[in-house]
Chains A and B, each alone.
Chain A
């Protein structure tokens, strides 16, 4: 089984600040990785590096087979970031159609319609994205990221702003994606939700990483304890 994602010595520096210390990471199809840590630890930086939005200061990153072109790599990735990437002047539907066209999908209007139905966004399909509530905008952003069926899903705090029902639906969706062979990297503070999804976790504290294995991710309590211990250890090592 070939890895979807291979990072070796991946690091990011902003001037004198080392946002991410050199990191090795490998992820195969159907695998999910949780990324945990206090604010400002470098989690979002890692995600942006994996998404190809930012260039690493050091190290290598491969998405898909080694020979994959830039276009194929981008096609393989779906990112749910802190911002929604939605155009406020366009409706939800129009935003999705635009995304479909940017990703070269066939029948963009139908794809958008299907996604709107799946994510229960039909009620706000004709509303301008700028007028969506936070929760709805987040759901639209998730729909946008999933639209082109990416192999690798990168999610930064995806449950933020979602009500219980929408949050549960997202968890189910992510489980389904994982079962379908997609790889997930999820940054989240919501330990309960990631414990159910991921088999491994990466704990980042000020750019430095520690790993947690499946035993820690059995349930929320176990994860909480393991996480706290990890954070203490990383901070003490500083």
Chain B
């Protein structure tokens, strides 16, 4: 029980933050002007761009958790890594779903091998491989160790992939950054709130998943105790 109490607080806090942020965000998205060139489909960007943040944040936390686990050998860091990976892959899936929807609506193609798309697809593959590695390694300590090494390698490869795809000429299609005045009036608020909502959603999901992890550990510990009593 003691392990979950601080998490509970975070859970409630992030739930509140999420609710407020999401409400404001939805309001501003609804009120945002329809883009002259792209039409209503442009509004999916208010989802797409924020979830990208979640996807990359997730992997960063996975690698961080893994690194801290290898350094400290404390189970809670491995729980962070596992939780961040599951939440992150969810966000990454959303990126890869909302992106093509928007692309089809505006450029007329579901997919192109452009820099950011390819980079995110590769991230997705690394996520999936990470989760499979965790599943298929026997022994939780070994799985934690192997997964940590893989996550660190995966993180190191993200900038390498960026340069690699750039080299292969993948910079072309994806729209450049939406800062610096390219945002029309009424678009700044929904974007900003979208980012905030994404962070709040990520935090909330992460905390809930951490709670599940903590409960599982607790259960394992009690089973071990019970086993010893019997033995």
List residues of chain A with CB under 8 Å of any chain B CB: 13-18, 21, 55, 206-208, 238
Please give the distance in Å from A6's CB to the nearest CB on chain B: 20
Q: Judging by beta carbons under 8 Å apart, are A15 and B220 in contact?
A: yes
Known pairs A15-B220, A17-B224 / 16 extra A-B pairs, C-beta < 8 Å: A14-B139, A15-B139, A15-B140, A15-B223, A16-B223, A16-B224, A18-B227, A18-B228, A21-B228, A55-B73, A55-B141, A206-B231, A207-B231, A208-B231, A238-B230, A238-B231
Interchain residue pairs A-B with the least CB separation, the first 7: A16-B223, A206-B231, A18-B228, A16-B224, A238-B231, A18-B224, A13-B224
With both beta carbons as reference points, the residue of chain A lying nearest to B139 in the complex is identified as A14
List B188-231 residues whose CB lies under 8 Å from chain A: 220, 223-224, 227-228, 230-231
Interface size class of B (residues with CB under 8 A): 10 to 19
Please give the distance in Å from B68's CB to the nearest CB on chain A: 17
Report Cα–Cα, A220/B220, bound state, in Å: 42
Q: Judging by beta carbons under 8 Å apart, are B231 and A16 in contact?
A: no
With both beta carbons as reference points, the residue of chain A lying nearest to B141 in the complex is identified as A55
> Which chain A residues border B227 with CB–CB below 8 Å?
16-18
With both beta carbons as reference points, the residue of chain B lying nearest to A17 in the complex is identified as B227
Q: Judging by beta carbons under 8 Å apart, are A16 and B141 in contact?
A: no
Report Cα–Cα, A15/B209, bound state, in Å: 20
Please give the distance in Å from A120's CB to the nearest CB on chain B: 39
Report Cα–Cα, A55/B139, bound state, in Å: 12
Please give the distance in Å from B23's CB to the nearest CB on chain A: 43
Report Cα–Cα, A52/B224, bound state, in Å: 23
With both beta carbons as reference points, the residue of chain B lying nearest to A237 in the complex is identified as B231
With both beta carbons as reference points, the residue of chain B lying nearest to A234 in the complex is identified as B231
> Which chain B residues border A238 with CB–CB below 8 Å?
230-231
Report Cα–Cα, A18/B225, bound state, in Å: 8
List B133-167 residues whose CB lies under 8 Å from chain A: 139-141
Report Cα–Cα, A13/B225, bound state, in Å: 11
Binary contact track B73-114/A, C-beta < 8 Å → 1, others 0: 100000000000000000000000000000000000000000
Please give the distance in Å from B137's CB to the nearest CB on chain A: 13
Report Cα–Cα, A238/B220, bound state, in Å: 20
Report Cα–Cα, A208/B230, bound state, in Å: 12
A-B contact list, 25 entries, CB within 8 Å: A13-B224, A15-B139, A15-B140, A15-B220, A15-B223, A15-B224, A16-B220, A16-B223, A16-B224, A16-B227, A17-B224, A17-B227, A18-B224, A18-B227, A18-B228, A18-B231, A21-B228, A55-B73, A55-B141, A206-B231, A207-B228, A207-B231, A208-B231, A238-B230, A238-B231
Please give the distance in Å from A15's CB to the nearest CB on chain B: 6
Please give the distance in Å from B218's CB to the nearest CB on chain A: 12
Please give the distance in Å from A199's CB to the nearest CB on chain B: 29
> Which chain B residues border A13 with CB–CB below 8 Å?
224
With both beta carbons as reference points, the residue of chain A lying nearest to B226 in the complex is identified as A16
> Which chain A residues border B231 with CB–CB below 8 Å?
18, 206-208, 238
Report Cα–Cα, A15/B217, bound state, in Å: 9
Please give the distance in Å from B79's CB to the nearest CB on chain A: 15
With both beta carbons as reference points, the residue of chain A lying nearest to B225 in the complex is identified as A18
